Structure 1
Amino acid sequence: MRSRIILVLAMALAGCSSAQPAPPSAAPPSLPVPSLSVPSSPPASPSLSPSPATSADCVTRTLDRLTPAELAGQVLMIGTEVDSPDRLGDTVARYHLGGVFLHGRSTRTAAQLRSDIAALGRNADLPLLVSLDQEGGNVQTLKGPDFPVLPAAEKLGAGPAATLRATTTDSARRLAGIGVTMNLAPVADTVPATLGERNPPIGYWHRQYGSDPAKVATAISTVVPASQDAKVLTVLKHFPGLGRVTANTDTSADAVDNTATANDPYLKPFAAGIQAGSAAVMVSSARYPRLDPSTIATFSRPIVTGLLRDKLGFQGLIMTDDVGAATALESVPVGQRAVRFVAAGGDLVLTIRPGDAGPMASALAERAGSDTAFQARLSDAARHVLVAKERAGLLPC
């Protein structure tokens, strides 16, 4: 998911904390930058990869016993304040939620956070995907004695790969230790040097790993396995890229990238993350007229299915950026935001507003009840969510 940008203080989702870990004594070799053509079944991080036979069997058995309402709930990830997640307990149970997003800032200890996350999870039918934004720099949800300050991606991207790997690994281990299973990171957007801080969502906060997509791709190839080997799933964001826009989708409906094409070099970091086995990709809410002149990426079948699934060969979980409070989506009825994303080929709908769970779940179930093709698509979306859960070791079987 795209992180909530601090530019809008009332909606800020991130923070800062203490000191980065020391790098290992030897730097790993440089990783090659992939082409835009990737294998249809990208390799996965070993520590998060059960055997295919076991995974398929477990996922299928779990999927087959879900009711229509449970299918709808599994494709929803609903936000809650990181310091008061218990408030979401009734919503988790009532709508059979598949995931939760912890937003805001916290200085609480790991023990306190672990206890609250575990308590929230006890409301769920199936174990929850628990996510947050722990990028670094200005986008860091957890800070305090147990969660050291993470440098901004731009700084890490300019340094040694060993430092990037060590920092990512240490951070992911701390997240895994409190029950967080998904970090909405890394940022795979490239911000051209000529734009820099004039790019509101990414460049202004130095969230990019660099201004050269090849270098960003190398950084992404380091971050993905480092996090997933430490048992925290990664989410590449914000596909197909927010680095060239001059407006923020959180606060404007005018975020447009008039350059992006299906052969855009700025897709290389996403291709690199796919090859590295990232569990998920987040789709942006900006417009890309040369890819789809009719709608934003969130609702675009040519972008979600045609480009990400078919051309780049991504087989994992596709999720939205926040579709609750974002200005870019305010003209679309809440329930239809979920329906249109799933219909475009997406799997997991993220909103920071707990009140969106009901309208979204109802709209998904209603559409599935009247449209057999959509019903099949909803089941497929839920399957992708369950595969991510199984990969994180969350499914009961």
Structure 2
Amino acid sequence: MMRPLGLMLYAALVTAALTGCVHQSGGSEPAASPHTAAPSPAVSSAPGPTGAAPSGPSASPVDPIADQVEAMTLSQKIGQMLIAGIDGTEDSEQTRRLIQSDRIGGIIFYKNNIQNTVQFVQLVNALKRDNEGNPVPLWLSVDEEGGRVTRLPDELQKTPSNQVIGQMNRPQLAYDIGSLLGKELKAFGLNMDFAPVLDINSNPKNPVIGDRSFGNNASIVTKLGIQAMKGLQAEQVIPVVKHFPGHGDTSVDSHVGLPVVLNSLDRLRKLEFVPFAEAVKEKADAVMVAHILLPKVDADYPASMSGKIMTDLLRKEMGFEGVIMTDDMTMGAIVKNYTIGEAAVQAVSAGANVIMVGHEYSNVETVVQELTRAVEDKRISMNAIDESVTRIIRLKDRYHLEDQQIAVPKVSELNAQVKVILKKK
């Protein structure tokens, strides 16, 4: 879905084509095709680019998104590369500055932003109004995993944890739960879920994953995680699989400190990487990278700042073509070891497309300033910025993101759907 800037560019190109100046009949990415039924684990039906072939011997592709990115200012581009948290349960002057001045790419909501259904809908609608002048719609996102990690209003009946789903080992149930979470998020005007968790719970002393994982078996995590991913995609909600390269064997919570995992690359390829590699094959849209130090892979930087992990392994070895996001840069693993601006610059230099800054307006401003300075000083190339922003806008376009106002959802109907699915357990 193209917003005003893209539409104007596209209209100009089409007009040129009709007058004989351009021999091409369109090249923007098509709409995502919603799932109509649960796909088998071996068959991908995720939204993905197809695109019409150019016609005529001298045809050149028409790409409105590339033209849209080219027309953006550096400030607008860097804004798109950030997802930020906000304070409070109402719109505020700071939040409006994030959206209208910094042109932030998206918002992540936490539990302290959400009091109840009516309040949350009012907040979401206010943020969409704030973004009306921006040609690019907002990502509106949460961590809604099911089980204990839930952000949506308490009036909603909760879904079981991934551990419970894993113990049942039923792909159809995983798909149904993913689809249900997608329906709930969409009903509240959201379009992105930081789920499913593809971490393998291989360390029983892990303080942060536990029942968030589908299990300690790579096959089960892969099979169920991919079906949950496809269920979200079926409802036109963008799933962000996490936490690459695998948070399951950590003994430190990265919210508090920097976990160090001494597994070899051979071990990672045989276990932790397996669900992510398969998700990439099944057209994962976005991957969140964890704040984990893997000294046997990169002794200098945690995964979220590592070119060896994000570019060499995820991009080149696994062939991932979607959007790479960092976990929240305000977590203890980062801020206890780096300045947040330094960490953001290194992350983008290493291959991250989106930096998450979950807390404090001043942290977002620092990241914006440091990324801008790094581009101006040529520590980050404009090509790298343009590549990231192009990936971001293509993903938003593929899912038809819009800033339209939403009505208060009927929670009773959503809860009835939860009960139907849980009866099938």
Sort the Cα spacing of 1:28 and 1:233 in 2 relative to 1 into closer, same or farther, 3 A: closer
Q: After superposition, where does 1:1-397 map in structure 2 within 5 Å? A: 31-32=41-42, 45-46=46-47, 49=48, 51-52=50-51, 57-81=63-87, 83-86=89-92, 88-105=95-112, 106-109=114-117, 111-124=118-131, 125=134, 126-145=136-155, 147-159=156-168, 160-192=170-202, 195-196=203-204, 198-203=205-210, 206-253=211-258, 255-261=259-265, 263-353=269-359, 354-371=361-378, 374-394=381-401
One-letter code of the match for 1:252? G
User: Which has the larger Rg?
Assistant: 2
In structure 2, what is the Cα distance between the partners aligned to 1:107 and 1:360? 29
So what's the TM-score if we normalise by structure 1?
0.82
One-letter code of the match for 1:199? N
Report deviation, 1:117. Answer: 1.0
Report deviation, 1:378. Answer: 1.5
Report deviation, 1:50. Answer: 5.8
SS in 1 for 2:328: coil
One-letter code of the match for 1:267? F
Which range moved further: 304-313 or 134-143? 134-143
Report deviation, 1:372. Answer: 7.4
Identify the structure with bigger relative contact order (alpha carbons < 8 Å, sequence gap 6+): 1
One-letter code of the match for 1:83? T
In structure 1, what is the Cα distance between the partners aligned to 2:381 and 2:45? 29
Segments of 5+ residues of structure 2 without an aligned counterpart are 1-36, 54-60, 404-425
Q: Cα RMSD over matched residues?
A: 2.4
One-letter code of the match for 2:159? L
> Over residues 256-287 of structure 1, what are the superposed CA-to-partner deviations in whole Å (9 max), with x where a residue is unaligned?
11114152322111112212222100001011
One-letter code of the match for 2:166? G
In structure 2, what is the Cα distance between the partners aligned to 1:132 and 1:391? 20
Report deviation, 1:163. Answer: 1.9
So what's the TM-score if we normalise by structure 2?
0.77
> Over residues 168-192 of structure 1, what are the superposed CA-to-partner deviations in whole Å (9 max), with x where a residue is unaligned?
2112111012221110011100012
In structure 2, what is the Cα distance between the partners aligned to 1:226 and 1:246? 31
Percent of aligned pairs with the same residue?
A: 25
Sort the Cα spacing of 1:386 and 1:201 in 2 relative to 1 into closer, same or farther, 3 A: same
Report deviation, 1:137. Answer: 1.3
